[in-house]
Structure 1
Amino acid sequence: MNQGWTERQRPVRLERRLEFADYEATRDFLDRAASLSERVGIYPDMSFGRTYVNITLHAEDDATALGEPLRHFAREIDALLATEKTLDE
């Protein structure tokens, strides 16, 4: 898994916090993440403020490990960030 993601076990999930320079950058990222979610059918838990976004990808109910679709989605989020300027990089 790419740097920046934390894998947790109880419950099984991936988490990442992103920090942005301003609200405009945060909003742009959220719009592009929404488009990605609609395209692949994965809808993570996201919370955000003016300059940050917290993302949590939960494993399927009763799963003991994260599946490849969630790991792939995390890589797709990372690809979105490649064109964003975040403060955590």
Structure 2
Amino acid sequence: MNQSDWRERNRPARLERRLNFADYDHTRDFLEDMAGVSERLGYYPDISFGRTHVSITIHAEDGAECVDPARRALAGEVDALLARSQGASS
């Protein structure tokens, strides 16, 4: 996980990141890939999006004071998806 791209927040504990895309097609492709990752891992982060951006929030488990390694791994999966999608658009 690229720590500089994720913002770690407290109260409640969570990781946040905003991703920007060139156009709606790239945004849609990323969201479809993200859905597959969420299904595979069994965790669905909060996602909001517009035509050319996606905001993702990965919350810690209820009552936890920090984001656990499994959810941090999801952040790493998001980073990998983004890298692949940017490579495909180059």
Q: Report TM bin, short chain.
A: over 0.9
**Structure 2 spans left out of the alignment, 5+ residues:** none
Cα RMSD of the aligned pairs, angstroms, is 1.2
Q: Which residue pairs with 1:73 in the alignment?
A: 74
**Deviation per residue, 1:10-45 (Å, 9 max, x gap):** 110000000000000000000000000000101000
Secondary structure at 1:39 match in 2: helix
- TM-score normalised to structure 1 length: 0.92
Residue in 2 that maps onto 1:29: 30
Q: Which has the higher helix share?
A: 2
Q: SS of the residue aligned with 2:84?
A: coil
How many residues are aligned here?
A: 86
| Identity among equivalent pairs (%) | 59
Calculate the TM-score normalised by the size of structure 2.
Answer: 0.91
Runs of 4+ displaced beyond 4 Å? none
Q: 2:40, 2:46 → 1: CA distance? A: 16
